[in-house]
């Protein structure tokens, strides 16, 4: 039996197998879920609770102590060191995304910080105008049109997606920390990087607690939006709106008048296109002989224009003369009002 040191590829292979098994179990367990962005939500919530419990009991207390012991400049230097190592992955993915000027800038930043910046502990590149970028293989896949796939919560790692889970595994081959052959040294670097990253999130955690009613949903939406923003370099196209099914046609018995004729006293004179069709006279006795004016819909919705037309004939049921079956006809000042819900014709 070989008791020698484990090769650097074995931990990555085990991690990949674990992710694949998790994906298969999650897919089977979440088939009946209806959420388009998070079809694996039942299993994701279980993993999220596990991660949250581990963070509460172990990771957060260590990060709190780490922050209390180390001064700010030391924590900044450690963060710069790991960020500088990550620039190797950034350069590679910049090339894969055909962002050659950016990749050249990132390579220069890595060289300057690794030398003048003493292995990256000092961010000299920023002072030389070399901007820090964020590129990884998950973004590279998105750049070439591969969708993120379902949202996925990975044990210990946290929020991810199918695409980003594959991207993390590919990026591990360019990660200097993961490439360290000495297991103890590699684990120490991994633990230090994780604790330093967690310590940086302690302050923002208060904002999360104040803003989120459902922490799981808040973290999911924040993660997906951030990843989409990174894929499109801060200028994502508008997301398609949710499907809005067309309104069902109303029955004839439910139709309401599209227009109303109102006289100068505010009385409703007639309603058009009612259940009986035509014009329904509801006039009181007319008192004015001013030529009627009808309001026509203007080109701009919500405005009307007045056009003179002949007086509208109307009658009052109480004023029907005995000598004739025709209603009493008078002329009055009237306007036609288009109801807000009616189409302008």
What's the pLDDT score for residue 204? 79
Same domain, 306 and 201: no
Choose the weakest-confidence range: 74-88, 175-189, 197-211, 225-239.
197-211
In sequence order, the 6+-apart residues with CB closer than 8 A to the CB of 8 are 178, 179, 180, 181, 186
Same domain, 263 and 223: no
Asked if pLDDT for residue 285 goes beyond 80, the answer is no
**pLDDT confidence bin for 258, thresholds 50/70/90:** low
Based on the structure, what is the number of domains in the chain? 2
In sequence order, the 6+-apart residues with CB closer than 8 A to the CB of 95 are 103
CB 243 within 8 A of CB 170: no
* pLDDT (average), residues 192-199: 96
Asked if pLDDT for residue 164 goes beyond 70, the answer is yes
Query: Could you give the CA distance from residue 23 to residue 34 in angstroms, rounded to a whole number?
Result: 17
Query: Could you give the CA distance from residue 286 to residue 267 in angstroms, rounded to a whole number?
Result: 11
* Six token digits for residue 107: 């390579």
What's the pLDDT score for residue 213? 76
* Residue with tokens 């690794």, as numbered in its chain: 114
What's the pLDDT score for residue 36? 87
CB 295 within 8 A of CB 334: no
CA 308 → CA 267, 280, 303, distances in Å? 20, 22, 17
What's the pLDDT score for residue 266? 59
* Six token digits for residue 112: 């300057």
What's the pLDDT score for residue 311? 41
Asked if pLDDT for residue 319 goes beyond 80, the answer is no
Same domain, 211 and 326: no
Helix (H) or strand (E) holding 111: helix 100-115
The answer to the question of residue 4 being in a domain is no
Asked if pLDDT for residue 85 goes beyond 80, the answer is yes
What's the pLDDT score for residue 64? 95
What's the pLDDT score for residue 264? 57
* pLDDT (average), residues 281-299: 43
Count CB atoms within 10 A of the CB of residue 74.
12
Same domain, 167 and 205: yes
Asked if pLDDT for residue 277 goes beyond 60, the answer is no
Asked if pLDDT for residue 270 goes beyond 70, the answer is no
Q: Using the 8-state DSSP alphabet, how is residue 214 labeled? A: S
* pLDDT (average), residues 153-180: 96
* Mean of the per-residue pLDDT values of the chain: 75
Query: Could you give the CA distance from residue 27 to residue 150 in angstroms, rounded to a whole number?
Result: 10
Choose the weakest-confidence range: 116-130, 194-208, 223-237, 287-301.
287-301
Query: Could you give the CA distance from residue 281 to residue 70 in angstroms, rounded to a whole number?
Result: 87
Same domain, 175 and 313: no
The answer to the question of residue 119 being in a domain is no
Same domain, 22 and 59: yes
CB 227 within 8 A of CB 138: yes
Same domain, 284 and 223: no
Which residues constitute the domain of residue 282?
Answer: 252-338
User: How do beta strands 304-308 and 158-161 pair?
Assistant: unpaired
Same domain, 227 and 159: yes
3-state helix/strand/coil string of 261-279: EEECCCCEEEEECCCCCCE
Which of 223 and 301 is assigned the larger pLDDT?
223
Show the CA angle centred on residue 95, arms to residues 92 and 99, nearest 5°. 130
* pLDDT (average), residues 315-325: 43
SS3 for 325? coil
CB 202 within 8 A of CB 63: yes
The answer to the question of residue 42 being in a domain is yes
Query: Could you give the CA distance from residue 122 to residue 115 in angstroms, rounded to a whole number?
Result: 10
**pLDDT confidence bin for 29, thresholds 50/70/90:** very low
**pLDDT confidence bin for 139, thresholds 50/70/90:** very high
Same domain, 146 and 22: yes
State how far Cα 232 lies from the chain centre: 14
Helix (H) or strand (E) holding 62: helix 60-69
What's the pLDDT score for residue 10? 57
CB 132 within 8 A of CB 109: yes
Same domain, 186 and 41: yes
**Cross-strand partners of 260:** 271, 337
**Cross-strand partners of 295:** 306
* pLDDT (average), residues 216-222: 92
What's the pLDDT score for residue 342? 44
Q: 41-54 and 215-231 helices cross at what angle (nearest 10)?
A: 100
**pLDDT confidence bin for 336, thresholds 50/70/90:** low
The answer to the question of residue 80 being in a domain is no
Same domain, 192 and 292: no
């Amino acid at each position: 039996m070989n008791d020698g040191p484990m090769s650097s590829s074995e931990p990555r292979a085990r991690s990949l197998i674990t992710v694949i098994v998790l994906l298969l179990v999650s897919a089977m367990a979440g088939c009946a879920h209806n959420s388009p962005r998070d079809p694996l939500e039942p299993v994701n919530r279980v993993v999220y609770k596990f991660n949250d419990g581990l963070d509460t009991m172990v990771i957060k207390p260590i990060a709190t102590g780490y922050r209390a012991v180390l001064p700010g400049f030391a924590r900044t230097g450690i963060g710069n060191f790991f960020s500088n190592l990550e620039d190797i992955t950034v350069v590679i993915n910049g090339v894969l995304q055909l962002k050659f000027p950016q990749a050249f800038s990132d390579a220069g930043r890595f060289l300057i910080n690794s030398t003048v910046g003493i292995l990256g502990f000092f961010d000299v590149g920023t002072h030389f105008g070399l901007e820090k970028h964020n590129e990884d293989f998950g973004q590279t896949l998105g750049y070439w049109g591969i969708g993120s796939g379902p949202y996925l919560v990975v044990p210990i790692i946290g929020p991810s997606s199918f695409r980003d889970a594959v991207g993390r595994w590919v990026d591990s081959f360019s990660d200097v920390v993961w490439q360290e052959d000495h297991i103890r040294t590699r684990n120490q670097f991994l633990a230090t990087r994780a604790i330093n990253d967690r310590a940086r999130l302690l302050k923002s955690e208060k904002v999360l607690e104040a803003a989120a009613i459902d922490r799981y949903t808040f973290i999911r939406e924040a993660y997906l939006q951030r990843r989409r923003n990174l894929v499109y370099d801060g200028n994502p196209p508008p997301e398609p709106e949710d499907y809005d099914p067309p309104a069902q046609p109303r029955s004839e018995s439910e139709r309401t008048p599209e227009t109303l004729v109102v006289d100068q006293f505010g009385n409703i004179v007639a309603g058009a296109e009612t259940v009986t069709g035509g014009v329904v006279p509801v006039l009181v006795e007319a008192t004015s002989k001013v030529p009627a004016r009808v309001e026509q819909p203007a080109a701009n919705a919500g405005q009307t224009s007045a056009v003179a037309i002949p007086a509208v004939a109307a009658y009052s049921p109480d004023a029907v003369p005995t000598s004739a079956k025709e209603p009493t006809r008078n002329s009055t000042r009237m306007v036609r009002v288009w109801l807000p819900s009616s189409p302008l014709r």
